[in-house]
Amino acid sequence: MCGIVGVLGNHEVSPQILDALKRLEYRGYDSAGIATINRGKLDLRRAVGKLINLSDILVHEPLPGRSGIGHTRWATHGGPSVANAHPHRAGRVAVVHNGIIENFRALREELGAEGISFSSETDTETIVQLASLYLERGMTAVEAARATLKRLEGAFAVAFLFEGEEDMIICARRGSPLCIGHGQNEMYLGSDAIALAELTDRITYLEEGDWAILSRSGALIFDADDHQTNRPVTRINVETARVDKSGHRHFMAKEMAEQPRVLQASMSHYAGLSGGDITLPAELDFANTDRLIMVACGTAFYACQVAKYWFEKYAGLPVELDIASEFRYRDPVLGPNNTALFVSQSGETADTLAALRHVSPHVAQVVSVINVPTSSIARESAVALPIHAGPEIGVASTKAFTAQLQVLALLALKAGMQRGRLTPEAFEARLAELRAVPGFVAQALDREEEIRRLTETLSQARDVLFLGRGVMYPLALEGALKLKEISYIHAEAYAAGELKHGPIALVDTDLPVIVFAPHDGLFEKTASNMQEVMARQGTVILISDAQGLAEAGDVPYCLQMPTVPEFIAPIIYAVPAQLIAYHTALHRGTDVDQPRNLAKSVTVE
């Protein structure tokens, strides 16, 4: 959600900043901009839309300078326009910002009373106007930045560049991630380490409340109480941080194809390549947990919804689920023996992080399942379990979803053992099934051409209905979310049994109904619901295994999945949900990796 970059370099920095912004574009692509200092003077270029538009401008109007900051925006306050694009400038200051300044109205009024007029609709401009005012009142750059930061309320990451200060960037982290990169007599700043992967492998992650003064020779870091502090320099694996499409047309295509390898890697991390145990941090204790509270957003929430079935069935653990943005604004009843589990690919989702902070003091243990081990959610959890999926760049989550499911399945089995609900034999049998997941996912991916053909007609639809029962219900929800987000086709998902309580009124010849129904204990029930749709001329696309398809009879469209054990079926059936959305989007010519209005990492509420 907005990406920030800063470079104090020894060469022209615009190309470096632009390159780093490309790796942050997944955070937002409503507009982009760069500011530099050249021969003591501040200058900037900004463009609406994707970075390519900014690159084009820079070709015709280069931006020289060896110190600079850059930004890629996901609009919050004020629509996508050049005036609202960052960097914002006032007098001798330029600012890039990620997050929300909650008291911006009060600050605008106060600054307005000083005779200051605003040139944008953004909350960010209050930061730059304040800093500029403080400079005019005689403060130094450091004093002005510090005084400005003290006035800001909300969650944000911010960077200041001052005219006349070619060897200085001031930055601050409060609620939104920010890291510093160390080079050879160069220093860098980025919203994440991926942004800086081509520049350095030496990274310092700022802690909550930190602010820092960067110069080419290093960084002075201060904590929230203004005490100078040391934060460690960690070496990142630039290979894993490096992002490219590896010959695929889209990041989403690459990330779907990577799933068998990712799932294998994640599995071998937690359970080795063979054997009958799952290795998890020793302090992780489900034996004394009386209730599991799972909280997440979007696709990660659907992973929790699947896992609820597993924790209940295999561990006998009562589970409560909620969407993070809802959870934190009700008064959840929390108990000292509750375990709270947060699932997040980015580990930075503002609502999930806020929910975590809300429950932390009141529960026995806070556990997270994340993809980014250095993320805020990981760092603020007692136990953080990485899914080892590698960077996920496509806005639509794919490999992270299946990897989240796999780690949650392992956790549910471990909980089952700790709580004495699974016999060693049953535990080993389920673990063996999990070990087979990568192979089955590869088989499901092999159905791509069939799915592509199916989506030729589907892409003409105005609305699509997804149905599933039991663990297939969250899969239906995930299928509908994927389709909406990248093809812009309106899609809804229902628990198949719920159809006759209202939504069946929608069914007509124009409504494709996609049914996820492996031949499991609920198959007969789902098949009856499917018949109800067909009796009303609905066009059914049934996704099932050989036995399910054979028993279903005459269904207009069928897609055969491998026959898989019931336990792991949700992980395998995620693949057609993803491929249906992907190929429908291709037919419709939408922007698969960067769908409109969305951003990958949602760091605002």
- Residues marked active site are found at 2, 600
Q: How far is the CB of 404 from ligand F6R (least distance, A)?
A: 8
Provide the minimum distance between the beta carbon of 393 and ligand F6R in the complex, in angstroms, as a whole number: 11
What's the closest the beta carbon of residue 453 comes to ligand F6R, in angstroms?
Answer: 24
Start-end of H helices in 318-393: 324-327, 350-359, 376-379
b/e code 255-289 from CB counts within 10 Å (16+ = b): bbbbbbebbbbbbeebbeeeeeebebeeebebeeb
Give the nearer residue to ligand F6R in terms of CB position, either 347 or 562: 347
Specify whether the CB–CB gap between 86 and 124 falls below 8 A: yes
In the complex, the residues that contact ligand F6R under the rule CB under 6 A are 297-300, 344-346, 349, 352, 396-397, 481, 485, 602
Closest contact distance (angstroms) between CB of 328 and ligand F6R is: 14
What's phi and psi for 48, nearest 5 deg?
-80, 150
For ligand F6R, the closer of residues 441 and 602 by Cβ is 602
Residue nearest to ligand F6R (CB): 298
Phi/psi class of residue 535: alpha, beta or left (left: φ > 0; alpha: ψ in -120 to 50)? alpha
By C-beta, is 278 or 350 nearer to ligand F6R?
350
> Among residues 42 and 400, whose Cβ is nearest to ligand F6R?
400
- Using a CB cutoff of 8 Å and minimum separation of 24, what contacts does 17-21 make? 17/68, 17/69, 17/70, 18/51, 18/54, 18/55, 18/58, 18/70, 19/198, 20/70, 20/188, 20/190, 20/195, 20/196, 20/198, 20/199, 21/51, 21/54, 21/70, 21/71, 21/72, 21/195
Q: Are 454 and 579 in contact (CB under 8 A)?
A: no
Q: How far is CA 61 from the centre of its chain?
A: 34
Looking at the Cβ atoms of 266 and 397, the one nearer to ligand F6R is 397
Q: How far is C-alpha 240 from the geometric centre of its chain's CA atoms?
A: 17
Please report where in the chains the tokens 């929910």 appear, as a residue: 355
Separation between Cα atoms, residue 241 and residue 224, nearest integer Å: 29
SS3 category, 252: helix
Is the CB of 152 or the CB of 366 nearer to ligand F6R? Answer: 366
- Smallest separation (angstroms) from ligand F6R to the CB of 408: 13
Shortest separation between residue 373's beta carbon and ligand F6R, angstroms:
14
